Amino acid sequence: MAMGTVWFVGAGPGDPDLITVKGRGLIERAGAILFAGSLVSEAATRWAPPGCEIADSKDMTLEQMSAWLIAQAARCATVVRLQTGDPGLYGALIELVQPLDAAGVPVQVVPGVSSAMASMAAAVESMTLPEVTQTVVLTRVEGRTPMPEGESLRELAAHHCTVCVFLSITLLGRVTSELRAAGWAEDAPMLVVHKASWPGEQQIVRGTLATIQALCREAKIVSQAMIVASPTLGARQWPTLAKSKLYDASFTHRFRRASAPAEEENPT
């Protein structure tokens, strides 16, 4: 008997409207949906058709989730596993795919908006700026899951680029200690966003390395928060910015010829 396809769909950061058009289309024709209720808003299942089997995985083990998906694929052409953010980022994607492969169940993945992007969007901040940083690190600090060698926050933060720290708000003291050890100044800007994009629940906290822990404690933020340290934070208020060369009038590319002479560099 032919098995249905299990689609791992990124539900996005929280706001149901931030799911992709493709993801919504799959929900609209799904015969069964397994959603991560501890992190994904149940509102994301509102497009499911009548008769769709919907289950919440928050109290399931990995083995129970795999068994449920395999059983539904035996009776449905389209099965959706709805995961928070993007399925490939801090999600149990491969752990769930392996049993499906063994059972002969076809698998497809639909990417989603990460909470890192949603947090910066909520705060109207940019992860990269010309001549400030062109690099973004997505990481976490060590808790019950150990970090591989060479991936401590101290080592990664030593690059002084944009650092987005997932799954670590209860370890914020350790985050700030590691940033200090990596050479970040006490007045370095910090951003914490709780439940980025969740309607009516989002909280944005701005501070510095010295103040962010106390501010988050005051705001009672203890879960589902993105921590961002970046030299780009607050650039909206900077009096001057290095502008992108792509849009410079003196820059020629295949869609536009330069309309102004290039500025001479200061001979110092």
Q: Across residues 185-201, what is the average pLDDT?
A: 96
Can you give the pLDDT at residue 243? 78
Residue 146: its pLDDT value, please?
Answer: 86
Say which amino acid occupies 177.
S
Last residue of a domain, one of 95, 110, 125: 110
260 within domain boundaries? no
Same domain, 78 and 163: no
Q: Are residues 44 and 21 in the same domain?
A: yes
Domain co-membership, 76 together with 128 = no
**Which single residue is written with the structure tokens 């110092």?**
268
Range of the domain at 71: 5-110
**Domain count across the chain:** 2
In a domain, residue 141? The reply is yes
**CB-CB contact of 131 with 242 (8 Å):** yes
Identify whether 105 is part of a domain: yes
The pTM (predicted TM-score) of the whole model is: 0.89
Does residue 123 lie in a domain region?
A: yes
How far apart are alpha carbons 86 and 39 in whole angstroms? 12
DSSP string, 135-191: -EEEEE--SSSPPPTT--HHHHHTT-SEEEEES-GGGHHHHHHHHHHTT--TT-EEE
Model confidence pLDDT, tens digit, residues 78-95 = 999 999 999 999 999 999
| 262 vs 219, residue with greater confidence | 219
Provide the pLDDT for residue 41: 74
Same domain, 77 and 96: yes
229 within domain boundaries: yes
- Of the given ranges (101-110, 122-131, 241-250), which has the lowest mean pLDDT? 241-250
Residues 147 and 106 in one domain: no
Q: What's the pLDDT band for 263 if we cut at 50, 70, 90?
A: low
| 73 and 40, same domain (yes or no) | yes
* b/e map 135-165, b = 16+ CB within 10 Å: ebbebbbeeeeeeeeeebbeebbeebbbbbb
Residues 119 and 95 in one domain: no
What number of residues does the chain have?
A: 268
